[in-house]
């Protein structure tokens, strides 16, 4: 259980719709599709309509400051089957990086690796009260691209399972590029927050609007204006 799983979901019924990709930069081909993730009838580039509206607004704020910059959409809608696929893939990848094999790993080692995986990845739950954020169509993983088409260096890649993924990792960090990395992350966060998103406390790239994590963060910030989640797991 995560803290936000206690937030009730009152599903709005708002449809999942295709992101207007001509307005943004996207990963092509999609990083998880390249791995064989089973998306089914929807591509990764779907979100709830209000979330798309907020994303367009965030890019407008970005372009008020840098007219030729764009938001790069790394990932958006993720069915639970894809969540399961990526959790399993990340577990296997972590084993390889540690020089371990699934058949020889000890129970303690297995537990440690799973804990590492679940610092980044939500549990692929089919329980309607605890949906993975991306499975609601309300969460999006993003970064920024400058006017030369270059992706800004945020100091760590999206999905990295390390402390470098923490949004404020480079605050007071001694890395020679720490100030620039933090500045880039802050710019991304600022334009997304201004458009109504909240950022995942553990991931500099993950933002959501209207799901349980978003509502939990909203309620922490505004305890006199309590809200519920309006997007649950997409089931069709």
Which tens digit of pLDDT belongs to each residue from 46-69? 999 999 999 999 999 999 999 999
| Torsion, Cα of 17, 22, 26, 27 (10° steps) | 100
Under DSSP, the state recorded for 69 is -
Q: What is the pTM of this model?
A: 0.95
Block residue for tokens 């922490």: 220
pLDDT of residue 40 exceeding 90, the answer is no
Is 15 contained in some domain? Answer: yes
Average pLDDT value for residue range 101-105: 89
Q: Which domain holds residue 110?
A: 3-221
Residues annotated as catalytic (active site), given as ranges = 203
Kind of pairing, strands 139-145 and 70-75? antiparallel
Q: Does residue 109 sit within a domain?
A: yes
The residue to which tokens 């998306």 are assigned: 39
Domain-embedded: residue 62: yes
Per-residue pLDDT tens for 107-139?
Answer: 999 999 999 999 999 999 999 999 999 999 999
Residue 176 lies in a domain: yes
> Could you tell me the pLDDT band of residue 218, with boundaries at 50, 70 and 90?
very high
Query: Which of 122, 120, 98 minimizes the C-alpha distance to 109?
Result: 98
* 3-state SS, residue 53: helix
CATH number of 136's domain: 3.30.1380.10
Q: Is 139 domain-assigned?
A: yes
The answer as to whether 22 is a domain residue is yes
Is residue 229 a part of any domain in this protein? no
In a domain, 140, yes or no: yes
The domain total for the chain is: 1
């Amino acid at each position: 259980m995560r803290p936000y799983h206690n937030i009730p979901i009152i599903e709005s019924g708002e449809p999942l719709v295709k992101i207007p990709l001509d307005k943004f930069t996207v990963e092509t081909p999609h990083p998880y599709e390249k791995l064989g993730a089973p998306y089914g009838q929807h591509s990764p580039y779907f979100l709830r309509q209000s979330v798309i509206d907020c994303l367009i607004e965030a890019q407008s704020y970005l372009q008020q400051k840098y007219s030729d910059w764009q938001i790069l959409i790394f990932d958006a809608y993720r069915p639970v089957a894809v969540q399961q696929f990526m959790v399993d893939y990340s577990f296997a990848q972590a084993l390889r990086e540690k020089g371990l094999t699934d058949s020889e790993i000890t129970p303690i080692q297995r537990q440690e690796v799973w804990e590492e995986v679940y610092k980044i990845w939500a549990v692929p739950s089919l329980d309607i009260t605890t949906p993975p954020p991306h499975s609601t169509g309300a969460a999006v993983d993003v970064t920024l691209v400058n006017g030369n088409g270059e992706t800004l260096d945020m100091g760590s890649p999206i999905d990295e399972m390390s402390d470098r993924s923490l949004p404020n990792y480079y605050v007071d960090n001694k890395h020679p590029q720490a100030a620039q990395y933090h500045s880039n992350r802050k710019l991304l966060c600022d334009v997304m927050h201004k458009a109504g998103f909240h950022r995942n406390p553990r991931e500099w790239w993950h933002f959501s609007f209207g799901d349980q994590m978003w509502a939990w963060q909203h309620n922490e910030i505004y305890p006199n204006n309590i809200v519920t989640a309006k997007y649950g797991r997409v089931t069709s």
